A and B are shown apart, each in its own frame.
Chain A
Amino acid sequence: MKNRLRLLRAERDWSQSDLAAHLGISRQSVNAIETGKYDPSLPLAFRIADLFALRIEDIFSAENKETEE
């Protein structure tokens, strides 16, 4: 799954640790999600969407979405 987490974080000038603190998870988790090594659980995806006041699909998209379009 692809995501815009790094971009959204950079817009707010947050470090990975800052974002991790906002979400109540580890910095390693933020790094793994940003680099696409780990897909967040649905509850965590909702927390991320709530934090940035966006919809989940505005942040995360399927890896093959672009190739389908």
Chain B
Amino acid sequence: MPATPTNPAYRRYMRRMIPLSLVYVGAVALASVLIPDHASASVATVALALVPGFAALGWIWAMARLLVELDDGYLRMLEVRKFLVATGFALSITSIWGLLELYTDVPALPIFFVWPLWCIGLVVGQLVNRVQMGKGACA
């Protein structure tokens, strides 16, 4: 995404992502304080854990809306490429790690880390765009 988004779709995207991110960080912090380690699943613990989960669903919705609302075909193509690279990146690591877990004694990778891995993949996707499409490909 450009440093100073001029396309209205990017501005709407930021307006959606910032509050969702605040909810996510706040809810994770709150759940970490209120729920003791290895607590059993109860209505209260599940409800607290689901708040950041719904914020993450909101991120996915915001990203989907960005693709729908971007009226600039080139910028949309850059975003789609980024998402594809991120998906490939996350799936590559998790599937290889899964096989390692199956056949060796490497520690289990918590499912929670799939999302951060996908976000790291977005950065890789940005680099791929920059290398293949040139410096102007800053979306």
**A residues in contact (CB < 8 Å) with B:** 24-29, 31-33, 35, 37-38, 40-41, 44
Contacts and interface: CB of A to CB of B under 8 A. Distances in A.
A43 B87 CA distance: 30
Given A28-B75, A33-B74, 10 more contacts: A26-B72, A28-B74, A28-B139, A32-B74, A32-B134, A32-B136, A37-B133, A38-B133, A40-B73, A44-B73
19 contacts: A26-B6, A26-B7, A26-B72, A26-B74, A27-B136, A28-B136, A28-B137, A29-B74, A29-B75, A31-B134, A31-B136, A32-B134, A32-B137, A33-B74, A37-B133, A37-B134, A38-B73, A38-B133, A40-B73
A29 B134 contact: no
Contacts of B2: 28
Interface residues of B, number: 15
A26 B137 CA distance: 11
B138 interface: yes
Contacts of B30: none
A18 B31 CA distance: 51
Nearest to A37: B133
A26 B5 CA distance: 10
